Structures are given as structure tokens and as C-alpha cells.
Amino acid sequence: MNTRALPEDLSPVTAIPILRDHRWLELTSAANQAFKDGAVEPARRLYTRAVEEAERLFETRNPKDTAVPLPAIMNIACHNLAQLAAQDGNEPECRRLLILAFDRLINAARQPSTPIELRIACVQHLKYTLSELAGHLAQQFEPEPSVEHYTDRLREAVAAVSHAAAHVGQADDPRRCGHCRLTN
């Protein structure tokens, strides 16, 4: 048993810790089943609630105690709902959701107050986010902003996270970096 788990945090059926993303997992699983059964509107409502739960989890910036990494939760939640919007021909909503996932991950990666492990995970998951967004934008005539706009933002985030990660290795003496005052 996980020593951090309190009795009220354990599933009564399995006696294993209930992780922080259990609600998101339940909503996504139910939405997937509804979609598989052809119940599109119930699936949409459940996917919408899954996005709301993903937003709540992601806002905590706490990468601990989840079965699925926070960046993946945000990606999956937004991409599931975006796929339904695209299927309905609602391109603006599809684009909004794909950009939402990209923006959440890129902003967390660039934010110095975000834990470094989450910043790194966001950068790692941005390849999936950008791939979906680029695929969507490729179907548009002269999309604005262009794919290059998003790739430039990704490059900047990768550089910022790489720089911050280098500082973590020098945490005993943040003054060793002679070109900036970054201490995280």
C-alpha cells in the first residue's frame, strides 16, 4: 500500500490509492463508451466535463499523484472534444480546443513558477499538441496564425525549459550562470 495514502483516500473495493485524476479518467471512459455506442450528445457532454476536469487538474500545476501525466490529460481532453467538433463540421470549435491544449501546455512550460518536472513534461507533450494543431491548420486556406507561429513559440519554450533545467543541476550555486539571474 502507498504509505502516503490515508484510509479515506483508498478505494473500498481494491484498497489502492485513489489518484487525483480518477474523476477525469471516469468521465473520459464514460464518454468513450457513449461515443462507441453512437450516443454522440451524451459523449459530448461527458467530454466537455472531462475538459473542465482537465483544466481544474492542470491549474494545480501539481504533477504528482496522477495515473496520467497532466500534459497528456489536457491533450486528450481537448483532442477528444475537438474530434467531435470536427466530425460535426464545427471547425472554429475544433480549432479553439486544439489551441486551448497548445496554450495551456506552452504557458505552463514557459512559466518559471511551474515545477521543472511539469515544464519538461509539457515540452515533451507539445509535439502531440502541435501535430494535431498543424494537421488541422493544414486543411485551412491561409490559416492565421500560421503553423510557423506555433513552432516558433514551441522553440522558445524548449529553450526556456532547457535553460531552467540546466539551472536545476546548478541549484547549489545559482550564481554560476554568468548570463542571467534565473534561479530555478
pLDDT at 109: 94
The domain locations on the chain are 17-176
* Full-model pTM: 0.81
In whole angstroms, give the CA distance from residue 82 to residue 91.
9
**pLDDT computed for residue 183 by the predictor:** 46
- Residue 89 confidence (pLDDT): 94
Q: Which CATH class is domain 17-176?
A: mainly alpha
Could you tell me which residues come within 8 angstroms of residue 85 by beta carbon, excluding any fewer than 6 positions away? Answer: 91, 93, 94, 97
pLDDT at res. 162:
87
pLDDT at 10: 45
165 touches 123 (CB < 8 A): no
Measured CA angle at 154 (ends 157, 67), to 5 deg = 80
d(CA 59, CA 162) in angstroms, rounded, equals 22
Contacts of 95 (CB under 8 A, 6+ apart): 82, 136, 137
What is the per-residue pLDDT for 16? 57
Stretches in the chain below the pLDDT threshold 70: 1-17, 169-184
Question: What's the confidence (pLDDT) of residue 181?
Answer: 57
